[in-house]
Amino acid sequence: MITMGRIKEILRILASEYGPQKWWPTTLEGELHPSYHGKKINEKQRFEIIAGAILTQNTSWKNVEKAVFNLNKANALDISKIKKISKSRLAKLIKPSGYYNQKAERLKTAAEFFSKNKNPAREELLKVKGIGPETADSILLYAFSKPVFVVDAYTKRIFSRIGMCKSKCDYGELQDLFHKSLPKKAKLFNECHALIVELAKRNCTKKPECGNCPIRKLCKKLY
């Protein structure tokens, strides 16, 4: 059985292997592509993160970047402009992210919600159509710097293969393990989640590449 202390060991190894991940990238004034700039985010960038958390549902970040680029190029990426733009026009701009008609509707719903709620609680976010636990926690962590650990498909894949949970484990159950294992700090949770995503992209893919995996010796399931 993997102890909660093993989580710290795994994350320490990943940090040593990959270095700082610096997430969530946002665009500066005049930029079209999101990037990490290390500055305190403003209200426009906060909504960009919120939009990105919605756009990244069921797709890769590369596709989200293309959608963000399109929105910036059209000068449409802020709350007031998302509220005003037609749903068909918005859907066309975010087409690279997939499920674009559905996501256009969700972005407009989010714009209405966040225009009235500047510092929402998790329970309030979960009542917004299209925002589930993972999206809500991504928004809280990355847009509002709240110490909430984000559990995604990559987290479940990696830690089920390690032997710490089942592949279809409950979201809250796995999140609770991270909350109990790590100091409750937003910056730490931010970096740890990004490291897990990096491992999933490099080694712990659907068909895993275990040969040079940095945590191979800790894995219970070798392929």
> Confidence class of residue 168 from pLDDT cuts 50, 70 and 90?
confident
For 14, 18, 51, 199, 216, the CA distances from 207, given in Å and listed in that order, are 20, 21, 30, 13, 14
Cα–Cα nearest to 23, from 169, 196, 161, 208: 196
In this prediction, what percent of the chain has a pLDDT beyond 90?
86
Least confident of 3-12, 89-98, 129-138, 151-160: 3-12
Mean pLDDT of the chain, nearest integer: 93
Question: pLDDT per residue over 58-105, tens digit each?
Answer: 999 999 999 999 999 999 999 999 999 999 999 999 999 999 999 999
Q: What's the pLDDT at 223?
A: 46
Question: pLDDT per residue over 151-165, tens digit each?
Answer: 999 999 999 998 888
- 36-45, 106-115, 157-166 — most confident range: 106-115
Asked if residues 60 and 101 have their Cβ atoms less than 8 Å apart, the reply is no
Asked if residues 61 and 31 have their Cβ atoms less than 8 Å apart, the reply is no
Query: Is omega for the bond preceding 24 within 30 degrees of 0, making it cis?
Result: yes
> Confidence class of residue 183 from pLDDT cuts 50, 70 and 90?
very high
Least confident of 5-14, 35-44, 46-55, 86-95: 35-44
CA 87/CA 89 separation, integer angstroms: 5
Check pLDDT > 50 for residue 1.
no
Q: Which residues contact 59 (CB under 8 A, 6 or more apart)?
A: 97, 98, 99
Q: Which residues contact 60 (CB under 8 A, 6 or more apart)?
A: none
> Confidence class of residue 4 from pLDDT cuts 50, 70 and 90?
low
Q: What's the pLDDT at 36?
A: 86
Check pLDDT > 70 for residue 141.
yes
Which domains does the chain carry?
4-22+148-218 (1.10.1670.10), 43-143 (1.10.340.30)
Average pLDDT value for residue range 203-223: 86
Cα–Cα nearest to 136, from 164, 94, 106: 106
Average pLDDT value for residue range 182-208: 95
Buried b (16+ CB within 10 A) or exposed e, 45-71: bbbbbbbbbbbbbebebebbbbbbbbb
Average pLDDT value for residue range 136-162: 96
